[in-house]
Amino acid sequence: MGESTDGTDTRDRTDPRVRRARIAMAAVFAVHGAVTGTFATRVPWIQEHVGVSAGQLGLALAFPAIGASLTMPLAGRVGHRFGSRTALRALLALWCASLALPALSPGMLALCAALAVYGATSGLADVAMNALGVETEDRLGRSIMSGLHGMWSAGALAGSAAGTVAAHAGTDARVHLAVAAGVLVLLGSVVCRWVLDVRTGVAEHPPPRFALPPRSAVVIGAVGFCAVFAEGASLDWSAVYLRDVIGSGPGVAAACTTAFACTMAVARLAGDAAVRRFGPVRTVRTGGVLATAGGVLVVLADDPLPAVAGFGLLGLGIAVVVPLAFAAAGRSGPEPSQAIAGVATITYTSGLIAPAAIGQIANATSLVVSFALVTVLAAGLVAGAGVLRAPARDAALSRGAPAARH
């Protein structure tokens, strides 16, 4: 009675448990983002406490991405073994608890190890929650991934705001991060009670511990790479660009970075409506056009206003790409977690290399040339958007109808 012609149980769309799961997933993403935002505010304290130079700190900050990339393929196996709800609750708790580790590090080696653990738990929780987000989206029959990532951005902003208050008050980061970790562990454990509990059949073979991502994930990841490169470049270098290229004061330069981050958060929260109306491919292509126009504005600007507007358009244009890349990966083959892990690894790598690549290109040429490259990558979103199309997805999600469940 409840089966639609495409094999989806139409009762899922009105099942209150699925609606609660969607709210719970939004809270999970916000908790995950809050950890990142909290940590970012205490990096200066950690640097001073450990006694490392800027170069050593830069090296240490590469370890989260290294740890994440090495462990993300394991997330699917954990979910297969324990079920999605138990796996997510445990992995999210580990990620929140790891927030306390960097501030306890007595030296450089300990800091690198702590940040590797921090990144490893982040990546595992990231894959688990995105895979479960895709499953929740399928059961609701409408796009929610952009909004979930918007909640991640909102959580990051909330964490950074609280961290700024703690830093301004002179709170010891060991105390601040330990308290924040405890609160977030508790919040994460509570909200995970209402997420979906997806379990594979006992006869199904578990996914491999380590495996190369499927070809489909590599292609989808390439689109995500372009967006995350532009995001990392803009977040880390927009203020420097305003100061050094445009000649803006420190207040305007800092406001540009804040505006970029807020634009991305708002666009992600509103992005699901665009996906439902136009489908993921047209949404990303339109975003690519906006991001490319923003990059051109940045490169050609000789005044703060068009430069800030250009960075704002960049944020608006790339905001929904990563959520839709995860959603497409989750439907691209028989092993959603493996495909999502592959896309996550590619995007993490992009975020890791983008700030350094922009700096190296700027040293060899100029920051204008660096952002010309960002503009070219933004244009790549227009060309590559088609790979985000999944069977029966564009029409179903744009109509609000259920897509086939996998």
Cα angle for residues 143, 148, 151 (degrees, 5° grid): 145
Checking if the pLDDT of 203 tops 60, the result is no
pLDDT band at residue 336 under the 50/70/90 scheme: confident
Rounded CA-CA distance 73/126 in Å is: 11
Mean pLDDT of 336-362: 86
Higher per-residue pLDDT: 184 or 211: 184
What pLDDT does residue 398 have?
47
Mean pLDDT of 84-104: 96
pLDDT band at residue 267 under the 50/70/90 scheme: very high
pTM above 0.85, yes or no: no
> Considering just the CA atoms, what is the radius of gyration of the chain in Å?
21
Q: How far is CA 309 from CA 1, 224, 287, 314, 329, in A?
A: 53, 23, 15, 9, 32
What pLDDT does residue 209 have?
56
Record the tokens describing residue 374, joined without a space: 């960002």
pLDDT band at residue 86 under the 50/70/90 scheme: very high
Checking if the pLDDT of 290 tops 60, the result is yes
What pLDDT does residue 390 have?
56
Checking if the pLDDT of 406 tops 50, the result is no
What pLDDT does residue 1 have?
36
What pLDDT does residue 12 have?
61
> Which of 86-90, 265-269, 391-395 is the least confident region?
391-395
Higher per-residue pLDDT: 121 or 201: 121
Mean pLDDT of 45-68: 88
> Which of 44-53, 80-89, 200-209 is the least confident region?
200-209
What pLDDT does residue 220 have?
94
pLDDT tens profile 133-146: 999 999 998 999 99
Checking if the pLDDT of 370 tops 80, the result is yes
What pLDDT does residue 200 have?
67
Mean pLDDT of 133-160: 92
Record the tokens describing residue 156, joined without a space: 């990051």
Mean pLDDT of 171-182: 96
What pLDDT does residue 168 have?
86
Q: How far is CA 281 from CA 232, 331, 332, 356, 382, in A?
A: 23, 15, 15, 30, 9
What pLDDT does residue 43 have?
87
What pLDDT does residue 246 have?
95
Record the tokens describing residue 402, joined without a space: 């259920």
Checking if the pLDDT of 313 tops 80, the result is yes
Checking if the pLDDT of 396 tops 80, the result is no
Average pLDDT, the chain: 87
Name the β-bridge partners of 9. 3
Mean pLDDT of 49-68: 87
Task: Say which residue the tokens 């007595």 belong to.
Answer: 106
Higher per-residue pLDDT: 203 or 291: 291
pLDDT tens profile 97-113: 999 999 999 999 999 99
> Which of 94-103, 298-307, 311-320, 335-344 is the least confident region?
335-344
